[in-house]
């Protein structure tokens, strides 16, 4: 789990919006899309690894994966939430 102090200073590198933890419902929808091979990140790569944790922008439009408790806050690794509707 991402440290609370770190989370308090993280922001989306593109929009500068604060990031917060994605809820379980969002993670479940993401993981269904990942398991069917229907989720890509901003750089166009198919996301293949299920997510136990992710960070989402304040407006809920962009998600960043957390891998081994490390937030991957890179624009090219971001996932558009509109893809998992």
What is the share, in percent, of the chain residues with pLDDT greater than 70?
96
**pLDDT of 83 higher than 90:** no
Q: What is the pLDDT of residue 46?
A: 96
The vertex-37 CA angle with 7 and 42, nearest 5°, equals 45
Angle of CA points 28, 67, 48, to nearest 5° = 60
| 66/4 Cα distance (integer angstroms) | 14
Rounded Cα distance between 39 and 47, Å, is 6
Can you tell me the mean pLDDT for 10-23? Answer: 96
Contact 62, 81 (CB under 8 A): yes
Where exactly are the structural domains of the chain? Answer: 4-84
Residue keyed to tokens 């500068």: 16
82 confidence band (pLDDT: 50, 70, 90): confident
């Amino acid at each position: 789990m991402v440290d609370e102090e770190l989370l308090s200073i993280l922001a989306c590198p593109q929009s500068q919006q604060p990031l917060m933890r994605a809820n379980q419902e969002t993670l479940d929808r993401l993981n269904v899309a990942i398991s069917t091979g229907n989720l890509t990140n901003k750089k166009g790569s198919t996301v293949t690894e299920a997510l136990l944790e992710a960070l989402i922008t304040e407006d809920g439009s962009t998600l960043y994966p957390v891998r081994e408790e490390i937030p991957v806050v890179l624009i090219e690794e971001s996932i558009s939430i509109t893809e998992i509707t």
